[in-house]
């Protein structure tokens, strides 16, 4: 049977070519049409006498990248991003096969460092790794060459906190719609991409619902509306793109004398205000900002020191009162 589905729902394509069995196991989520396409590609390769590019266990890397971005990346939250990451590394993959992936990755890192951040380089490496892993799952390679590729260490933590006065100094140079974006970010911790996708129906009972598909973590969260935020929510949906907000912000921060201030800093500023002024817990901050991991929220732990100190000082006051009462009682007894 050329095409079959196994007990766990994975599709398989099996052919016998020149007395040699060729087997492709498709990854989870692949459809029957995907399996038929693989079968057609294998037969087509044979008829064109180009089987060497598809059937052996060392296919061209760019073929694997094309297969990944053309089929599997469609299931990602941002398929176009995957294509950009693949296009970025494709020149280094030209004429190279899967078994040369490690050398390709090392050369790409060497040439890309200085032109791209470690995070950007890692996204292209991640696309390459995923393409190679799918090739292994499909039976196109006997080894998962993706496991040989190592990502660069990233140090992207940027904890720049702004004061309300600094936020205001930048906002004053922006249009009203961009001001709305600025204050929504400051008073909710929402990301720029989340803000531009916000709709009227996402504001229910004085609560903002950040829905799946609009958030980085693909997790719905709710954020209560603070009183100062209500007037800015009247501008929702914002008639501007995320890029438009970014361009306006860049001009305004220069005029305000804060050239190093990033729009994303408003998210950190929200966390800072919550911890320093509101005195909420780190857990609550993580829930409001939509962190997928508590480790992300821990970056703000030092901001909660004042609240910890205040709590311990309260214990000290209680102890002092008890100690004074005990001392007075002992003096009376003696």
Q: What is the CATH number of the domain that holds 258?
A: 1.10.443.10
How does the average pLDDT of the chain come out, rounded? 80
The pLDDT value recorded for residue 245 is 94
SS3 content of the chain, % helix, strand, coil (to 5): 60, 10, 30
140 and 10 share a domain?
A: yes
185 and 121 share a domain?
A: no
For residue 234, give every residue at least 6 positions away whose Cβ sits within 8 Å of its Cβ, in sequence order, or none: 180
The pLDDT value recorded for residue 52 is 44
Q: Give the pLDDT confidence of 174-206 residue by residue, as tens digits.
A: 999 999 999 999 998 888 988 999 999 999 989
The pLDDT value recorded for residue 258 is 92
b/e map 267-293, b = 16+ CB within 10 Å: bbbbbbbbbeeeebebeebbebbbbee
Measured CA angle at 199 (ends 296, 275), to 5 deg: 30
- Is the confidence at residue 334, as pLDDT, over 80? no
User: How far is Cα 194 from Cα 190, in angstroms, rounded to an integer?
Assistant: 6
The pLDDT value recorded for residue 306 is 61
The pLDDT value recorded for residue 125 is 95
132 and 265 share a domain?
A: no
324 lies in some domain: no
- For the beta sheet containing 20-25, the strands, ordered from the edge strand earlier in sequence to the opposite edge, are 3-5, 11-17, 20-25
pLDDT band at residue 303 using 50, 70 and 90 as cut-offs: low
The pLDDT value recorded for residue 139 is 73
The pLDDT value recorded for residue 249 is 95
Task: Give the DSSP H/E element, type plus range, for residue 36.
Answer: helix 32-47
Residue with tokens 């996708």: 197
88 and 113 share a domain?
A: yes
- Cα R_g (the chain), whole angstroms: 28
pLDDT band at residue 318 using 50, 70 and 90 as cut-offs: low
75 and 131 share a domain?
A: yes
Residues in the chain: 334
The pLDDT value recorded for residue 18 is 57
Displacement of CA 72 from its chain's centroid (Å): 18
User: How far is Cα 276 from Cα 282, in angstroms, rounded to an integer?
Assistant: 11
The pLDDT value recorded for residue 54 is 44
11 and 118 share a domain?
A: yes
331 lies in some domain: no
Which of these ranges, 16-25, 117-126, 219-228, has the smallest mean pLDDT?
A: 16-25
Mean pLDDT of 79-89: 85
Measured CA angle at 243 (ends 190, 193), to 5 deg: 25
158 lies in some domain: no
Find the domain containing 133 and state its range. Answer: 3-148
User: How far is Cα 116 from Cα 108, in angstroms, rounded to an integer?
Assistant: 11
321 lies in some domain: no
Number of domains in the chain: 2
The pLDDT value recorded for residue 56 is 47
> Pick the residue with more confidence: 228 or 310?
228
Tokens of 328: 């007075």
DSSP secondary structure of 77-131: S-HHHHHHHHHHHHHHHTT-BGGGHHHHHHHHHHHHBTTB-HHHHHHHHHHHHHH
b/e map 56-82, b = 16+ CB within 10 Å: eebbbbbbbbebbbebbbeeeeeeeeb
The pLDDT value recorded for residue 153 is 84
Neighbours of 167 (CB within 10 A): 23
Q: Give the pLDDT confidence of 19-39 residue by residue, as tens digits.
A: 556 677 777 777 888 788 777
User: How far is Cα 277 from Cα 271, in angstroms, rounded to an integer?
Assistant: 10
87 and 190 share a domain?
A: no
333 lies in some domain: no
By CB neighbour count within 10 A (0-12 exposed, 13-18 middle, 19+ buried), where does 231 fall?
exposed
114 lies in some domain: yes
By CB neighbour count within 10 A (0-12 exposed, 13-18 middle, 19+ buried), where does 19 fall?
exposed
128 and 183 share a domain?
A: no
313 lies in some domain: no
The pLDDT value recorded for residue 43 is 64
Q: Give the pLDDT confidence of 132-177 residue by residue, as tens digits.
A: 988 888 777 888 999 999 998 876 555 678 899 999 999 999 999 9
177 and 143 share a domain?
A: no
The pLDDT value recorded for residue 124 is 93
The pLDDT value recorded for residue 93 is 94
Tokens of 27: 């990854």
């Amino acid at each position: 049977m050329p095409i079959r589905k196994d007990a766990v729902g994975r599709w398989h394509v099996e052919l016998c070519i020149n007395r040699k069995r060729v087997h492709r196991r498709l990854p989870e989520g692949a459809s029957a049409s995907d399996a038929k396409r693989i079968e057609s590609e294998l037969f087509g390769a044979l008829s064109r006498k180009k089987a060497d590019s598809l059937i052996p266990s060392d296919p061209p890397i760019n073929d694997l990248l094309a297969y990944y971005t053309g089929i599997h990346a469609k299931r990602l939250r941002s398929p176009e991003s995957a294509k950009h990451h693949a296009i970025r590394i494709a020149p280094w993959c030209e004429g190279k096969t899967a078994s040369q992936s490690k050398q390709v990755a090392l050369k790409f890192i060497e040439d890309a460092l200085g032109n791209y951040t470690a995070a950007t380089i890692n996204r292209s490496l991640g696309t390459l790794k995923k393409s190679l892993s799918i090739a292994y799952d499909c039976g196109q390679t006997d080894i998962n060459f993706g496991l040989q590729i190592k990502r660069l260490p990233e140090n992207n933590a940027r904890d720049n906190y702004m004061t309300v006065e600094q936020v205001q100094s930048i906002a004053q140079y922006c249009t009203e719609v961009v001001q709305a974006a600025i204050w929504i970010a400051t008073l909710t911790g929402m990301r720029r991409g989340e803000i531009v996708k916000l709709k009227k129906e996402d504001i229910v009972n004085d609560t903002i619902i950040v829905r799946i598909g609009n958030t980085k973590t693909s997790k719905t969260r709710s954020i209560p509306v603070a009183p100062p935020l209500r007037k800015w929510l009247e501008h929702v949906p914002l008639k501007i793109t995320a890029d438009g907000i970014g361009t306006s912000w860049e001009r305004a921060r220069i005029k305000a004398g804060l050239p190093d201030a990033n729009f994303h800093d408003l998210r950190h500023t929200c966390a800072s205000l919550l911890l320093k002024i509101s005195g909420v817990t780190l857990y609550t901050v993580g829930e409001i900002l939509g962190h997928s991991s508590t480790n992300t929220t821990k970056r703000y732990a030092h901001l909660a020191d004042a609240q910890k100190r205040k709590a311990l000082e309260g214990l000290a006051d209680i102890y002092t009162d008890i100690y004074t009462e005990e001392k007075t009682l002992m003096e009376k007894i003696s």
